[in-house]
Structure 1
Amino acid sequence: MHSESNSGRLPVVFIGVLALAAAVGLVVSLRNSPSGPVVVVYSALDEQFSRPILERFTDQTGIRVLAKYDTESTKSVGLTQALLAERARPRCDVFWNNEIVNTLRLSRGSLLQDCDSAVFEQFPAEYRSKSDLWCGFAARARVLLVNTDLVNKDAMPTSIEDLCDPQWKNRVGIAKPLAGTTASHAACLFAVWGEERAKEFFRCLKANAQVLGGNKQVARAVATGALAFGLTDTDDALIELEAGYPVEIVYPDQGEGKLGTLFIPNTIAMIEGAPHKDSAKRLIEYLLSSEVEQTLAAGPSAQIPLRPGESKSDRVESPETVQAMQVDFEEAAENWDVAAQFLRREFAAAD
């Protein structure tokens, strides 16, 4: 699984072209495919990881999956724009997002429907919609990756707020907080901290940190010594750690009265007006199965199962082993318009 590049807002015309191309491609696929049950999925999880899972679903059920994957340039933003463009005539059945903000955008725009499945109830309430419109699974944690050649043990950061410490000015990094997990993190901070404190934090980040194109770039900069530490996702942090670079992963804001570490799930949802509802329900239930969470946990990104009782990878911590940030994702969605307007104004032109 990759981390999002957070490349900011794409030109409206360009996004429209992408959405149209996606729609035309799927229509052609549907017309030219053999008869039999099908399901159309838009997946923001990297094709190299999601395709084998979708192919296994077809092998087990006989339901063919027509998939539209994200691209390196647009990430989940492009898929979300395609879904918005198609709302009058939906072509997609299932949206498999590798974060949560864009799923919540669709939910608030009435583009999702209840798939009427009891499987959602098997997941913790904090990681699923109160009205069963979406469900989270296979999470990543938002962590600090620290270069141990550049940061002494007694100076190790312990909080995301250490990114604002003046002693580290221009030696720490974040991804541009306009899309992906960094945008999800921002929305959660607006919900938990409130608007004013969250704005103060991001203004401080803009002044103190280097703003890079994505979480992967932040992790790479820390590993190579261009940064002392930075905020990224566990999957990108693990790549650098397991490649042998002098880095350490810190799960931030632990301890009594602290914020806790944010865990951001993959999310799965059925699109309102899904053309193949029965097949969509079966795919959703499969993606929320123990088999899939274990597959993703065993993979290179060591994603973290959220289903209670599932075995976790010993390569990463989980909400059961460290203090997790307590956040109402629906409340985060309610704060998103305000957060997004502020972040675009502050960071759209950031390098």
Structure 2
Amino acid sequence: MKRRKILSLLGLALASGSLAVACANGTTPTATTQPDQAATTANPVTGQLVVYSGRNENLVGSLIEQFKTETGIDIQVRYGETAELAAAILEEGQNTPADVFFAQDAGALGALQKADRTAKLPEDILNQVESRYRSPEGEWVGITGRVRTLDYNTSLVSPEEVPQSITELTDPKWEGRIGWAPTNGSFQSFVTALRLSLGEEQTKEWLQGIQANNPKVYSKNTAIVEALSRGEIAVGLVNHYYLERIKAENPDVPVAHSFPNDVGSLVNVAGVSILENTDNLAASEQFVNFMLSPQAQEYFTQETYEYPLTTGVVANKTLKPLSDIKYSDIDLSNLDDLEGTLKLLQETGIL
């Protein structure tokens, strides 16, 4: 079972191009500082904490430095793609130097949980976040929310024309007008959620229906939003914050969000788990609490346009409230079957 999880996660990393890009740039997809095994035996509060982060250093590096300054805890961070780091933790087993895993999506957290690699989090941590945004078993917790949206070019599509369900995108009237990023990890998590929501056969039919409409293929969400702004496509399947970042630079960009009334508005999370083998439990729990603190939640709200998940912190005023978004309520831990999603995308000729 563990070996299959490793292969699945590595397959996702390869499919998303992370390993190929790293090699092309002459760098490794791991991080700034490689921790050594001594990290796991340091003092649990003031010693060295090892974090494997699937969140980009540009997004969370300054926040991690704040934690280090405020607590005096030395942190060694290994940055990389989420799926790739999860596979590394499974491969390293009890010898992994990692204490904490900071993942870009819940699927990788679920994969480690099901492989018995994660520890139960204290109730005082779990209770800071609504139940739908954390593991039912209490072994990971969401830090921020990330919503799938169907963005559209407001010059090409009126609000009344925007599909209320992603199933409407298979209509021939959308031929040549759709943008998607099949190799992107967030898209593949969405397809995994679609499989859980609709079942294998209906998901396959949907993928084939979109494929029949000759969608334009992009490597990343940012490229889709930029194509929308140029009028190259009419609608695009993306995560919500890419448009927010572009609008911060250009408020007049002719692109808007729509939120389908189904799994097309999936709310996934970036979240954390503590590894069950950690010798730095107290420091690990401090790290998780810090990421759920008002200052960290406010940072994500203002700097990355993600949704805060703790009570008392309000989302950026440009965002639709989470409470107003209708979407399929699924156990996000079950987004771990990336192998099945990759297989389906390959069977349909999309990958």
Same fold (TM over 0.5): yes
Normalising by the smaller structure, the TM-score range is: 0.7 to 0.9
TM-score by length of structure 1 reads 0.83
Return the letter of the residue paired with 1:205: I
Kept after mapping to 2: 8 A contact 1:104/1:330: yes
Q: Please show how residues 61-100 of structure 1 align to structure 2 within 5 Å.
A: 61-70=71-80, 75-100=81-106
Give the structure 1 partner of residue 254 of structure 2.
246
Give the corresponding residue for 2:129.
123
Pairwise CA distance, 1:241: 3.3
AA in 2 matched with 1:122: Q
What per-residue deviation string (whole Å, max 9, x for no partner) do you get for residues 60-105 of structure 1? 11101111122xxxx3222222222222411111111121112212
- Cα separation, 2, equivalents of 1:211 and 1:298: 30
Is the 2:32–2:77 contact (alpha carbons within 8 Å) kept by the matching residues of 1?
no
**In structure 2, do the counterparts of structure 1 residues 228 and 89 end up closer, same or farther at CA, with 3 Å as the change threshold?**
same
Question: Are the counterparts in 2 of residues 138 and 304 from structure 1 also a CA contact under 8 Å?
Answer: yes
Secondary structure at the aligned position of 2:322 is classed as: coil
Structure-to-structure mapping, 1:184-263, within 5 angstroms: 184-208=189-213, 209-242=215-248, 243=250, 244-253=252-261, 261-263=265-267
Q: 1:5·1:216 contact (CA, 8 Å) conserved in 2?
A: no
Shift of 1:305: 1.3
Is 1:292 aligned with 2:277? no
Change in 2 beyond 3 A, CA 1:138/1:24: closer
- Counterpart-to-counterpart distance in 2, 1:80 and 1:55: 23
Q: Cα gap change, 1:337/1:43 in structure 2, threshold over 3 Å: closer, same or farther?
A: same
Size of the aligned set, in residue pairs, is: 329
Counterpart-to-counterpart distance in 2, 1:165 and 1:92 = 47
Residue 140 (structure 1) aligned with residue 150 (structure 2): no
Q: Which amino acid aligns with 2:72?
A: G
Q: Aligned-pair RMSD on alpha carbons?
A: 3.0
Contact 1:90–1:275 (CA<8 Å) still a contact in 2? no
The answer to which of 224-233 and 287-296 deviates more is 287-296
Aligned: 1:58 with 2:68: yes
Structure 1 stretch displaced more, 187-196 or 203-212? 203-212
Structure 1 residues 344 and 260: CA distance shift in structure 2, 3 A: closer
Q: Do the aligned partners of residues 207 and 8 (structure 1) sit closer, same or farther apart at CA in structure 2, a change above 3 Å counting?
A: farther
**Partner Cα distance (2:206, 2:290) in 1:** 40
Aligned-residue offset at 1:142? 0.5
Alignment of 1:319 with 2:322, yes or no, is yes
TM-score, normalised on structure 2?
0.83
The percent of aligned pairs where both chains have the same amino acid is 23
Judging changes above 3 Å, is the alpha-carbon distance between structure 1 residues 285 and 232 closer, same or farther for their aligned structure 2 residues?
same
Secondary structure of 2:136 counterpart: coil
Instruction: Give, in angstroms, the shift of residue 10 of structure 1.
Output: 5.3
In 2, distance between residues paired with 1:172 and 1:7?
Answer: 20
Per-residue Cα deviation, 1:10-32 (whole angstroms, up to 9, x for no partner):
58xx8xx958x66982229969x
1:278-309 superposed Cα distances (whole Å, 9 cap, x missing partner):
2112111211223211210111x311112234
- Specify the code of the residue in structure 1 equivalent to 2:99: D
Label 1:24 to 1:151 Cα distance change in 2 as closer, same or farther (>3 A). Answer: closer
